[in-house]
Structure 1
Amino acid sequence: MNLELPPDRRLLDKQARIDRILDEPAIQERPARRRNRAWYALAAVVAVLAGAVALGLLARLSGPDVAGNPPPTAEPTVQASATPTPSPSRPTPGDPEELPVGGTAELEYFTFTVLDSKQTSAGFAVRIRTCLTGTPPNYESDAIPIGWYAWRAVTERNTYQANVEDLADPAFEPVYPSGTRYAVGDCATGWLPFEAIGPDEPVTELRYSNDYGGEARWRIG
């Protein structure tokens, strides 16, 4: 069998041929290493791209959209409330009926009749007739006092108690009793004065309210 070396190994020096053969594996391994490194680089690029795609999907689901705007949020639902309708003005429960001048209020223990009214530069006054029809608690039937404290005159600006500047020289006579005691069945009549009210402050209403729950009112003017 004739064994010949390839032309590239036909070296005259035997030692040179041996060195050439020993160097060949290292020379042949270089292309293989380059190919392996290329595959590793390609695999790394693929992994990076896959990770980027995954992150993009997550950002798409939970973050800003492509335009950079935040994801739309649901608008809160606002229920329109009906505009409250003001309730019409009504009389206060238990408020007594307003009587005209000349009218009589029949209360427990008393009846009151406003006979007349007048307003001058000296003040305002009403002429009242009071009759005792019963005995209030803690009083004797023949010693029931009549006074001014339960009466009020009402204007557009204020509410006034009955008063007189000088009882010895009243502007309106005869003066309605103040502190005088009467018996059941008696009646008393007089002018109840409100001298603190001037002529330029018209009185619109007269009110009565006692300690036994009795109330009455009269329209003036």
Structure 2
Amino acid sequence: MLLCACAPTVNVNLPAPAGTPISTSPPSPSPESSPTPTGAPTTTPPPTAAPTTEQARPAGPQTLRLSYGQTARLRYFDVTALRQEFGKDQISIGWKVRVCYAAPHPEAGSDGRTRVSNNPWSVRVRDGEGGGQAKTVPISSLPRDAGWVPEFRETRLALGQCQEGWLPVKHENPDLQWNGLTYAPADFGDRITWS
């Protein structure tokens, strides 16, 4: 799993190759993570080249569970659910999201642009007072609250451009429990859930 370096990342422990001894002792701190004594000279490591798009992108659809603020690095997009906030009125909720067009895909328009919208986004919600099972509901089917600015709107992005804004809902029920935000674009097969 690859994640964008522009947001907090997820640590993934991959299995060691066969025959590799596995250490159970905690890792020793690296020089970069150890505190520098006051007055000691510091050095900055030399910059490294960023990986190319072909090296950094996964080959197929991704299914991930992330925390708010983490970025999913997908085949064609970098997608982040930045945060979830409740309105002061307690009957609205919003999710601030960012979608960046990061690698060209074959279904892009003849001008190289691609469409982004709120269609791939859904939420898992449950009535905390009435009980029952949680339901997954598309954001586009919920009542919109125009008080959240800027709103994430449908637009067309050129390669390298991002769209950022709020997915706002006026739910009018303070007993609802919101259990995650999911990005699942029908065209690409990815399913990313933040909670």
TM over 0.5: yes
Residue in 2 that maps onto 1:194 = 169
Task: Give the partner amino acid of 1:142.
Answer: G
Counterparts of 1:39-188 in structure 2, within 5 Å, are 96-120=63-87, 121-140=90-109, 142-156=112-126, 157-163=134-140, 165=143, 170-178=146-154, 180-188=155-163
Alignment partners' CA distance in 2, 1:206 and 1:122: 18
Give 1:99 shift: 0.7
Higher Rg? 1
Alignment partners' CA distance in 2, 1:213 and 1:161: 16
Query: Are the aligned partners of 1:149 and 1:161 in contact in 2 as well (CA < 8 Å)?
Result: yes
Task: Give the partner amino acid of 2:148.
Answer: F
For the residue of structure 2 that corresponds to 1:112, the secondary structure is: strand
Alignment partners' CA distance in 2, 1:174 and 1:183: 20
For the residue of structure 2 that corresponds to 1:175, the secondary structure is: coil
Higher relative contact order (CA 8 A, sep 6+): 2
Alignment partners' CA distance in 2, 1:165 and 1:206: 16
Distance 1:197 1:150, change over 3 A: farther
Determine what percentage of the aligned residue pairs are the same residue.
26
Give 1:165 shift: 4.2
Aligned-residue Cα RMSD (Å) equals: 2.3
Counterpart check, 1:216 vs 2:195: no
Give 1:114 shift: 1.4
For the residue of structure 1 that corresponds to 2:63, the secondary structure is: coil
Give 1:123 shift: 2.2
| 1:23-53 deviation digits (Å, cap 9, x = unpaired) | xxxxxxxxxxxxxxxxxxxxxxxxxxxxxxx
Query: Are the aligned partners of 1:124 and 1:198 in contact in 2 as well (CA < 8 Å)?
Result: no
Listed as ranges, the gaps of 5+ residues in structure 2 are 1-60, 127-133
Alignment partners' CA distance in 2, 1:95 and 1:203: 23
Higher normalized helix content (fraction of residues): 1
Alignment partners' CA distance in 2, 1:95 and 1:110: 11
Alignment partners' CA distance in 2, 1:187 and 1:197: 31
For the residue of structure 2 that corresponds to 1:155, the secondary structure is: strand
Query: Are the aligned partners of 1:125 and 1:172 in contact in 2 as well (CA < 8 Å)?
Result: yes
Alignment partners' CA distance in 1, 2:172 and 2:73: 28
Give 1:204 shift: 0.9
